[in-house]
Structure 1
Amino acid sequence: MTPTFFLAIALPALAAATSLLAAPAAAQAGDLKGVVELFTSQGCSSCPPADAELARLAEEDDVLALGYHVDYWNYRGWSDTLSSAASTERQYGYARTLRRKNVYTPQAVINGEDHVNGADGAAIGKVMDKLSSIGEGLTVEVTAIMHADELRISVGPGEGKADIVAVYFDDANTVKIKRGENAGRTITYRHSVRDMETVGMWNGNRVELKLPSSVISAHPGRRCAILLQVVSPDGSPGRILGAARI
């Protein structure tokens, strides 16, 4: 399914997750093979196989799997309960970065560098392997750990400039779809992104950040990941240099 209109890029509202306070775990970029971002919709008949593939990837220790529910299919009889304009804007930002004239669902963007049909698990794996082999995988070390009432983020040295972005997502949402192309189906969606927040900047030097609990408590019950992502002057998302899952 491929609409051909374009939207302006906008970052979602600043937010954080209370659940982090009880999760003193850390993950390094070196532990992750890649970041897979699926653009999907409950109103897209082609999307359930891709949603299932994202659910499989969500169980992989070396992959950060994130789902973005777009809102441009909401007019077709069913409004996606997890959709947002911000998810649509992010996908169109990738279209500009990847020099595409349109977007589609289900689209999987890997490391901000390439894309494939989100239902094709083999193709997703091949792209992750290819990017790693040419030095465009997750090459900058990122760690994130809860310490007392602080979220401590560390980004190692490297080359270039990038934003440090906190991504807040639900672990799972089960939705009974009553109308539209998937009417009558009940689907469990994994790792649906609900908010994103730019918490710092990186210029190639090591960066140490601390986020107070007053920021983290804004999103109770949600999980969090940290992305180190290149962003263009117009706000379009680009290559993901590193990531950590908390």
Structure 2
Amino acid sequence: MKLLTVLTVAFGFAISPAQAAEPGKRPKGVVELFTSQGCNSCPPADEYLSQLALEGDVVALSYHVDYWDYLGWRDTLATSDNTQRQHQYSRAFGTRSVYTPQAIINGRQEVNGAKRTLVDNAINEMADTIDGMIVDVDVSYSGDTLVVETSGVEGWSGDAHVVLVYFDRATDVKIERGKNSGRRFTYLNSVNAFHTAGKWHGKATRLELPMSEISRKAPGGCAVLIQSMKQGGLPGAVLGAAIVPREESW
């Protein structure tokens, strides 16, 4: 079983500027880490995901899964939807099983999330290529509305969704049982929900969403992914992404 190592530093800061790429600047990529508090191989991957989140060059998201809960500790951040998303990626990649820590880069490639070199190489090899972020995503506020605007891609055809991913910016957890018993970790960008807010058809798109809905679902933070879809509704390549800038009213 592959597991993660969570960040062991106690954070005493307000997480904000470093977690978002500069306005109008495409991130280098998207890293989706599937992890578990019950996985003793995961803390190094969690720590690296936290580092990526703070640096802000990539959209870094941590999906806690629940299939290791039987080992003695119920992951406090896990959801069945997170587990289902990993299984959907597995089917999309044609693999037979899931594991932790697994990092999905740009929805295109999976690597062991604890192996930093593999994650870095995947990000850098895709950056500024057709396998990287080819869609600009700009997020702004207009009164009580969140406005998502995207660029188009000439000649693009296919099915793509505008996916909103809600996460907690920092969650301190003391693990009392299981493989990591006695350890305390601070998890960054742990996903608590996600859903499709609309479709992208290859053209410049403007989508308006009520802030009341965003602030209710995302007390911590939110990311926008433009993600192509494969046959059967399975997740495909992430074409563009952005972290939603936080409003003081959240």
TM-score range, shorter chain: 0.7 to 0.9
How much has 1:26 moved relative to structure 2? 7.5
Counterpart of 1:196 in structure 2 is: 194
Residues in 1 aligned to 2:22 and 2:199: alpha-carbon distance in whole angstroms: 20
How much has 1:131 moved relative to structure 2? 1.7
Counterpart of 2:9 in structure 1 is: none
Counterpart of 1:34 in structure 2 is: 29
Gaps of 5+ in 1: 3-24
2:229 equivalent among 228, 231, 245: 231
- RMSD between aligned residues: 1.6
Tell me how many residue pairs correspond in the alignment: 223
TM-score (ref. length: structure 1): 0.86
2:42 equivalent among 27, 44, 47: 47
Contact 2:26 2:241 in 1 (8 A): no
Counterpart of 1:9 in structure 2 is: none
Contact 1:26 1:245 in 2 (8 A): no
RCO greater where, 1 or 2, for CA within 8 Å and sep 6 or more?
A: 1
Residues in 2 aligned to 1:211 and 1:180: alpha-carbon distance in whole angstroms: 41
Gaps of 5+ in 2: 3-20, 245-250
Query: Is 1:100 the counterpart of 2:95 in the alignment?
Result: yes
Counterpart of 1:154 in structure 2 is: 149
2:110 equivalent among 92, 110, 115: 115
Structure 1 residues 151 and 61: alpha-carbon distance in aligned structure 2, compared to 1, 3 A threshold: same
Structure 1 residues 83 and 145: alpha-carbon distance in aligned structure 2, compared to 1, 3 A threshold: same
In structure 1, the residue corresponding to 2:67 is in which secondary structure? coil
Residues in 1 aligned to 2:63 and 2:240: alpha-carbon distance in whole angstroms: 19
Query: Is 1:72 the counterpart of 2:72 in the alignment?
Result: no
Contact 1:164 1:227 in 2 (8 A): yes
The Cα offsets for residues 55-104 of structure 1, whole Å up to 9 and x where unpaired, read as 11111221111000000000111100000111110001111111111111
Counterpart of 2:136 in structure 1 is: 141
Off by >6 Å, runs of 4+ in structure 1:
none
How much has 1:125 moved relative to structure 2? 1.1
How much has 1:238 moved relative to structure 2? 1.0
Contact 1:26 1:244 in 2 (8 A): no
Counterpart of 2:86 in structure 1 is: 91
Contact 1:140 1:242 in 2 (8 A): yes
Counterpart of 1:21 in structure 2 is: none
TM-score (ref. length: structure 2): 0.85
Alignment of 1:7-18 (within 5 A): none
